[in-house]
Structures are given as structure tokens and as C-alpha cells.
Amino acid sequence: MAQQDAQQESVEIEEEIQWVRPQRSITWRIWNTWKKKPLGLAGVLVIAILLLMAGAAPILTPFGQFEMHAVDRLQGPNSTYWLGTDQFGRDMYTRLVYGARISLFMGFAAVTLGGITGGILGTLSAYLGGKFDIILQRFVDMFQAFPSLILAMAVVAALGFGVDKCALAISVPYIPRVTRITRSQAVSIREREFIMAALAIGATGNRMLFKHMIPNSLAPWLVVITAALGAAIVAEASLSFLGLGVPPPHPSWGGMLSGNVQQYAESAPHMIIWPGVFLSFAVFGMNLFGDAVRDVMDPRLRR
């Protein structure tokens, strides 16, 4: 009888073991997602190409980014100027490659700055609660009432022109958005059992914040900032197009479309086509990458 009970218990344990799903590492999830969704891998490749192009710009370009050839103004694509020249005789290919530096820097810097600031504010809002939480969320509501581009333009008007100031201006609209999402995640984590257990054993406030709440709020935070990369590049191009972004003669994809470029739309269409192609290519790659990160980090999409 005892032997039969032991055998039955062994069978039940084996059945329970079979129902336990193995824990998968983040590396395995990323690789599995790329196998199922190759567009995510395509986004990573696009970003890698852009980063390589920006980093190796002096090697990949035949001319200087400010070098002018007055006798070769408005040349179409040819063997000397692969993508043609602009109204000042500057090589379009060279300026587009160097423009990747500014556009990528703007995108990554703005999203990183806005993401870190919003993540810290959102976590503190959930952790401290009370009046701090109420006041901060009212400020978040106020800033979210403004369109992102209008808010960025106001910051540029207040701070002035420059690459660093433009990056700061682009980051400001992302702060309230990231703050709201991070706070929502941190509030749900604050009520979980492991947080209660940590409080019961006397965990300090710093340990609660940096050991438990921040690490467990990273998944939605990472999804938000990666999804915002493409929009940040478009925001930089928009500010430069309006004359509020990177000051000339520094090459910027949006800046290359601004000024009196429109009057050359018929005689030199390459001046409009190629900056638009590079900008679309970058935003498309960033969006694919953001979608892939969301698929990896969101448990509802992994089922």
C-alpha cells in the first residue's frame, strides 16, 4: 500500500514538473522574436548601418562637409558627386552622411535624457505618493496638454540655438509621457507581495527604490523610449526645417530641406528627394526596432 502511494505521488510530481514552463533568458527571447519577426532584425540592421555611416563619415565621404565647389552648383548625380550638389556646390552625399551624426545624436540624446528624467520622476512619484505625487501629476497633465512640437519650439525660443539645446528641447515633451507610464508601472509594483515582504523585514527606502521598484519598472520604460526614437528624429528634422534646429552650415537632414530649397524642386529635385529618403529610412528602421523591443518585453505579445 505504501509502495503504491509512493508511486502515485511520484507520478503526480512528474506531471507537475511537465507543466512547469522553463524560464527563458532575455537573449533567448530576443533571438526567438527575431526568428518569428524578421522585420525587427531589419530594424536593428538599419540602425547599425546608420551608426556605421555616422561613425565612419570621414572615411566614407570624398569631400569635406563644408567644402564648396561653386562651378558645380546644382549638379545632378554623377560619377564625381554621387548624389549631386546643392545650391552652394556642396556634395549632397557627403552632407547626408555627416547629417546622420546630428540626426542620430539628436534622437538618442533626446530620448535618453527624456527617458531617464521621466523614469526617475515617475518612480519617485509612485514611491513617495501623497502631495508630491498629486502636484507632479498635475504638472504632467499640464505639459501633456501642449503639442510636442509646440512645446519643443517654446524651449528652443527660451534657450536659443545649438545642437545641445535642440536635443534638450526635443527631450522635454517626452518627460511627462515617460513619467506617467513609469508611475503607473511603479504603483502596481508597490502593491505586490515581494514589496510588502521587503518592508516587513525592514528594507530601507533606498533599497526599496533601487533594488525593487526601478528594476521592475524597466520593461515599459524601455518600450517607450525605443518607440520614441523615430519620433525624436522627425522632431529634430521638423525644428531644423522651421529654422529652429541645428544652425547652418552644419548638415542636418531637416535643415537640408529648409530655406530656399523648394525653389529648386524642378531644376534640382535631388536636393529634396535624398534628404527625405535618408530621413524616411532612419525613421522606418527606428520604428521596426521599437516594435521588436515591444514584442520582446510585453508579456501579452509573447503568448
CB-count exposure of residue 72 (10 Å: 0-12, 13-18, 19+): middle
Backbone angles phi, psi at 21, to 5 degrees: -85, 130
pLDDT at 292: 78
pLDDT at 240: 85
d(CA 180, CA 121) in angstroms, rounded, equals: 9
Three-state DSSP class for 203? coil
Interacting residues of 291 by C-beta distance below 8 A, sequence separation 6+? 37, 39, 40, 43, 227
d(CA 169, CA 156) in angstroms, rounded, equals: 6
Going residue by residue through the chain (303 aa), what tens digit of pLDDT does each one get? Answer: 555 554 555 545 444 444 444 555 556 666 666 667 777 788 888 889 999 998 998 999 989 888 898 888 888 888 889 998 988 889 999 999 999 998 888 889 999 999 999 988 988 888 888 888 889 989 998 888 888 888 999 998 888 888 888 889 999 999 999 999 888 888 887 777 766 776 677 666 666 667 767 777 777 788 888 888 888 988 988 888 888 888 888 888 888 887 777 788 788 888 889 999 999 999 998 888 888 777 776 655 555
pLDDT at 90: 92
- Which residue's C-alpha cell is 542620430? 104
| Helix, strand, coil percentages for the chain (3-state, nearest 5) | 75, 0, 25
d(CA 17, CA 251) in angstroms, rounded, equals: 60
Q: Are 83 and 101 in contact (CB under 8 A)?
A: no
Write the CA distances from 188 to 72, 184, 300, integer angstroms. Answer: 63, 7, 17
pLDDT at 43: 84
Write the CA distances from 295 to 138, 223, 225, 227, integer angstroms. Answer: 31, 9, 14, 11
First to last CA, the chain: 43
pLDDT at 16: 47
pTM of the model: 0.78
**Three cell numbers at 190?**
508597490
**Rounded (5°) CA angle 188-142-161:** 115
- Of 62, 168, 180, nearest in space to 109 by CA: 168
d(CA 93, CA 59) in angstroms, rounded, equals: 13
pLDDT at 95: 93
Three-state DSSP class for 298? coil
Distance of CA 176 to the CA centre of its chain: 15
Domains in the chain: ranges and CATH: 92-303 (1.10.3720.10)
Mapping DSSP onto H, E and C, the string for 38-57 reads HHHHHHHHHHHHHHHHHHCH
User: For residues 228-241, b (16+ Cβ closer than 10 Å) or e, as one string?
Assistant: bbbbbbbbbbbbbb
**Three cell numbers at 23?**
524560464
pLDDT at 205: 62
**Three cell numbers at 144?**
501633456
